[in-house]
């Protein structure tokens, strides 16, 4: 099997897995006995960075399969775009594992979706980036540029949190933590994002050197 065909199969499978998982998670939230309206539930759903990151992953996997020649397909195939998405989803997995995960509970639909959103999809997309994403164009400044999305999310989270009282994660709950501790957590996450992005650049540079040596041999 050639590399292009392998990439199409891999992306098709995990695009389907990603969209199904997102749909199930949304359905579970709608069925919670919270008294929220559908609009309020939808707003909360998209207020989780996990959801936004997984939507980006699903789009980046779907577009090259269904519409490779479209604007979205070409855009999603770019190394910079796929690297940014890889950075976001990798941090989602790491942050969940170290900051949010607890003891394993009996298997329920909610637990299964949590595993897929925070472990399966991050691992699948990072593997996609390693195996199928073209290498050799990343610059050291790129991880800084990729921070624009998390920065916008942080701004939205604080504004939305103060407006509604909803804080998606304990480590961004400014009223509960206090401004100083919340700022510390935002800074820590910023460093984690930069570290993840820089790691991608290192791998990219290594792959470029390896390919250059192979062509010269």
Q: Where are the domains of the chain?
A: 3-216
* Strand, helix or coil for residue 168: coil
**What pLDDT score does 215 carry?**
58
**What pLDDT score does 213 carry?**
59
pTM of the model: 0.94
Q: Residue 189 is encoded by which pair of tokens?
A: 């996450």
What is the distance between the alpha carbons of residues 75 and 78, in angstroms, rounded to a whole number?
6
What is the distance between the alpha carbons of residues 75 and 73, in angstroms, rounded to a whole number?
5
DSSP conformational letter for 165: S
78 closest CA partner among 187, 204, 214, 212: 204
How far is residue 57 CA from its own chain's centroid?
Answer: 6
Per-residue pLDDT of the chain (217 residues; tens, 9 = 90+): 788 999 999 999 999 999 999 999 999 999 988 788 999 999 999 999 999 999 999 999 999 999 999 999 999 999 999 999 999 999 999 999 999 987 777 789 999 999 999 999 999 999 999 999 999 999 999 999 999 999 999 999 999 999 999 999 999 999 999 999 999 999 999 999 999 999 999 999 998 777 665 555 5
What are the φ/ψ torsions at residue 21 (nearest 5 degrees)?
-65, -45
Let me know how many helices (H) and strands (E) the chain has, helices first: 11, 0
92 closest CA partner among 35, 53, 45: 53
**What pLDDT score does 216 carry?**
54
């Amino acid at each position: 099997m050639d590399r292009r065909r392998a990439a199409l199969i891999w992306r098709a499978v995990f695009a389907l897995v990603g969209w199904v998982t997102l749909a199930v998670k949304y359905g579970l939230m709608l069925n919670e006995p919270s008294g929220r309206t559908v609009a309020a539930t939808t707003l909360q759903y998209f207020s989780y960075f996990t959801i936004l990151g997984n939507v980006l992953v699903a789009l980046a996997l779907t577009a090259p399969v269904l519409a490779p020649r479209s604007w979205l397909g070409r855009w999603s195939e770019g190394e910079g775009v796929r690297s940014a998405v890889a950075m976001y989803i990798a941090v989602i997995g790491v942050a969940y594992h170290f900051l949010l995960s607890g003891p394993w509970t009996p298997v329920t639909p909610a637990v299964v979706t949590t595993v897929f959103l925070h472990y399966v999809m991050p691992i699948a997309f990072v593997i996609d980036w390693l195996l199928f994403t073209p290498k050799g164009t990343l610059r050291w400044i790129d991880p800084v540029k990729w921070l624009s999305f998390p920065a916008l999310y942080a701004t939205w989270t604080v504004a939305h949190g103060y407006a509604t009282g909803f804080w998606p994660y304990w480590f961004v709950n400014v009223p509960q933590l206090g401004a100083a501790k919340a700022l510390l957590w935002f800074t820590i996450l910023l460093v984690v994002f930069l570290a993840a992005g820089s790691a991608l650049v290192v791998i990219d540079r290594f792959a470029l050197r390896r390919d250059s040596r192979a062509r010269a041999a």
